[in-house]
Amino acid sequence: MGELKDKMAADLELRCYRPDTVKMYLRLSERFAEHYMRSPAEMGEEEVRSYLLHLLRDKKAGPSVVKMNVAALKFLYTHTLNRPEEVVRIPWPQTPKPLPDILSGTEVSCLLENVRSIKHRMIMMTAYGTGLRVNETCSLKVGDIDSKRMLIHVRDGKRGRDRYVMLPKLLLSCLREYWKSVKPPGEWLFPGRDPDSHIGADAVRDAMRKATKDAGITKRVTPHVMRHSFATHLLESGADIRTIQVLLGHGSIRTTERYVKVSRAHVGRTKSPLDLLGTKKGKVLG
């Protein structure tokens, strides 16, 4: 793509897209150009539609992959090429939204007990205790831990938003023990092999896979499952869903409401109309 790639990169940067998103959009746009061996400037809606169908039919790409390609190509034609008419009729694919696996409290304890590295254990404990995303947890700095106010300052979260989350007493106590044991150098709470950078999310995922196997847990467990479990357990403990929305950093309450669907306590407390028949409350049924 040459100069077009440079222009697209600049357009993404000017709109303050995240570095990972910039790399993804550029890579997907390059693959589109390579497929036809032509510059995107020489193509339009017909080629875009055919390419997306090629991904679905020939490459057997899932809806989420196709959605990323749609996003990249819509940006390319709308902003970089200034030809929005070429992609305005390209539909956004519907993506399935399965309910997440949720660990029980016992499973969380068992998982943490089977994490071999104290650093990895503290990262997972922090993720469960605060509901942080894995990248947010990995990039915590020592100065983000406010023990006086019992808060953690989450900086530059999703969509570049800052927020505060609670600092559980048990987590603070364990973090202090971790600090005494590891004595991490520099500003990062969880440094990587290079002390000038924080630990990567892939290292945490690998450690979690091993701990899950050692703990004998058959559910599919990822760092994000700790976040899902945090939200569901808060809801089951009686926390207000609006509070959970703020803690998770969700832009929409609809995203948070998914946890109502997986909360056994909420489902269990909901009365079936069958139980209302013949009772005073059942009069509302007519």
Q: Closest by alpha carbon to 73, among 106, 30, 119, 110? A: 30
| CA 37 – CA 30 distance, rounded (Å) | 10
Active site residue 228: no
- The pLDDT assigned to 284 comes to 56
Residues 140 and 260 grouped into a single domain: yes
Distance CA 130, CA 163 (A): 12
259 labelled catalytic: yes
Supply the pLDDT for residue 143. 94
Q: Which of 67, 224, 258, 266 is catalytic?
A: 224
CATH code of the domain containing 33 = 1.10.150.130
pLDDT per residue over 98-141, tens digit each? Answer: 777 888 899 999 999 999 999 999 999 999 999 999 999 999 99
If asked whether residues 260 and 127 sit together in one domain, one would say yes
Question: Are residues 228 and 110 located together in one domain of the fold?
Answer: yes
Placement of tokens 């005494």 in the chain: 180
- pLDDT, residue 98, reads 73
Angle between helices 223-236 and 241-248 (to 10 degrees): 160
Assigned domain for 274 exists: no
Low-confidence ranges of the chain (pLDDT < 50): 267, 270, 274
The pLDDT score that the predictor gives to residue 93 is 93
Please report, as a single letter, which amino acid is at residue 225: V
Catalytic residue, from 133, 198, 228, 233: name it: 133
Q: What's the confidence (pLDDT) of residue 277?
A: 53
Q: Which helix (H) or strand (E) holds 243?
A: helix 241-248
Number of structural domains in the chain: 2
pLDDT for the residue 13? 94
Structure confidence at residue 269 (pLDDT): 54
* Distance from the first to the final alpha carbon of the chain: 67
Q: Which residue type is seen at 197?
A: S
**Residue 190 · residue 199 · CB < 8 Å:** yes
Domain holding 186, by residue range, is 105-268
Is 25 part of the annotated catalytic residue set?
no
In a domain, 208, yes or no: yes
pLDDT of amino acid 187: 94
**Is 227 annotated in the active site?**
yes
pLDDT of residue 276: 56
> Of 155, 250, 258, 266, which is the active-site residue?
250
133 is catalytic: yes
Q: Give me the numbers of helices (H) and strands (E) for the chain, helices first please.
A: 14, 3
Indicate which CATH number applies to the domain containing 113: 1.10.443.10
Exactly one of 67, 158, 205, 266 is catalytic; name it.
158
Residues 73 and 117 in one domain: no
**Are residues 172 and 80 both part of a single domain?**
no
Active-site entry in 119, 198, 227, 228:
227
d(CA 71, CA 25): 8
